[in-house]
Homo-oligomer: A and B are copies of this chain.
Amino acid sequence: MSEFITINDVGPRDGLQNQSHILTVEQRLQLIAALVAAGIPAIEVGSFVSPKAVPAMAGTDSVFSRLLGSSVVDDSLEKASGRQIEKRLSALVANRKGYELAKATGLRVVNLPIAASNSMNEANIRKTNAQAMVLSLELISAGCSDDVDTVPYIATAWHCPFEGLIDETVVIDMAEQFLSAGASRVVIADTIGAANPAEVSSLFKKLTTEFGDKALGAHFHDTRGFGIANAYAAVETGIRYFDGSIAGLGGCPFAPGATGNVATEDLAVLFSSMGFTTGIDMNQLCVAAELAIELTQTNAGGSSLPWLKRQLDKSFL
């Protein structure tokens, strides 16, 4: 059997929070159900942050209570991933209060955003680097006690919209601290889609050499059209865990210049084409992408979507 690459769909969180059209809880559940039906093994369902700052994520507690009450997804996600559903659905939390709210829903994976630069931390979570580091380490420690997986996201890991190029050693040092403290995985994020594949290759070579590929993940945006090239560069260094966003929905409301995340369908097509297993049903993935476009009323969609649509009536992959 060929090697497995995990795609974590962050569309229901990173995607939806950046759309002008705000979805209802029912619509969010509909989108998540479509992703589950497509066999996506990991999904970032929402965030526990201030609804004033991110209105699209209000009601994430209701989304989780419905999901973990299993009325929406039954056990297909569990079957697809071979792991408990609580371990495959995640939420982003930005502080202790968010962490507690998330934990109370019964979910068991939280993502912790922290930028590699001061300016971005201040813009994104209103903290200095040092304060953000203390908070992240505190939440990682809490996660260890509570049997909650914690996944720090090192945002703007290559380029900061305010400070420019980030020194690789800053990211490597942060990753080291997180993993030593007990983080399940560290995701390296090109939040504004500014890294080129040579830069991606360089940093991930150093990180995988230091920490092994199992401890790492990659998160790319398509701002300059480099998303798939960056994913390829990361795969070549051994990375096997990638964030994508269905239909390429996404961006970052607090990072100037950030546009859509790399599309889950583009990642799935790339990895399948390269002979990896993703567990994803391409026909159902296409259905999910079209639903995402319909619900958000955007013209989004990965570069491969027109091709995928033409395959809908064929048997392929």
Interface residues of A (CB under 8 A from B): 193, 196-198, 222-229, 231-233, 257, 259, 263, 266, 269-270, 273-274, 302-304, 306-307, 310
Interface contact B269-A304, CB-CB below 8 Å: no
- Give the residues in chain B near A269, CB-CB below 8 Å: 224-225
Number of copies: 2
Interface contact B307-A257, CB-CB below 8 Å: yes
- Give the residues in chain B near A307, CB-CB below 8 Å: 193, 223-225, 257, 259
Interface contact A198-B274, CB-CB below 8 Å: yes
For the complex formed, measure the closest distance between the CB of A101 and the CB atoms of chain B, giving whole angstroms. Answer: 35
Best-buried of A231, A270, A274 by chain B (most CB within 10 Å): A270
| A304, B257: Cα distance in complex, Å | 12
Q: Given A232-B232, A232-B233, A310-B257, are A304 and B196 neighbors across the interface (CB < 8 Å)?
A: no
- Give the residues in chain B near A233, CB-CB below 8 Å: 232
- Give the residues in chain B near A273, CB-CB below 8 Å: 196, 224, 226
| A227, B310: Cα distance in complex, Å | 19
For the complex formed, measure the closest distance between the CB of A314 and the CB atoms of chain B, giving whole angstroms. Answer: 11
- A197-B229, A223-B307, A224-B266 known; 6 new pairs, CB 8 Å cut-off, are A196-B273, A197-B232, A198-B274, A225-B263, A225-B266, A225-B303
Q: Given A196-B273, A198-B274, A274-B198, are A306 and B259 neighbors across the interface (CB < 8 Å)?
A: yes
- Give the residues in chain B near A302, CB-CB below 8 Å: 225
Interface contact A196-B274, CB-CB below 8 Å: yes
Best-buried of A193, A231, A232, A306 by chain B (most CB within 10 Å): A232
For the complex formed, measure the closest distance between the CB of A224 and the CB atoms of chain B, giving whole angstroms. Answer: 5
For the complex formed, measure the closest distance between the CB of A203 and the CB atoms of chain B, giving whole angstroms. Answer: 15
| A274, B303: Cα distance in complex, Å | 22
| A300, B228: Cα distance in complex, Å | 19
For the complex formed, measure the closest distance between the CB of A110 and the CB atoms of chain B, giving whole angstroms. Answer: 31
| A193, B273: Cα distance in complex, Å | 12
Best-buried of A193, A223, A231 by chain B (most CB within 10 Å): A223
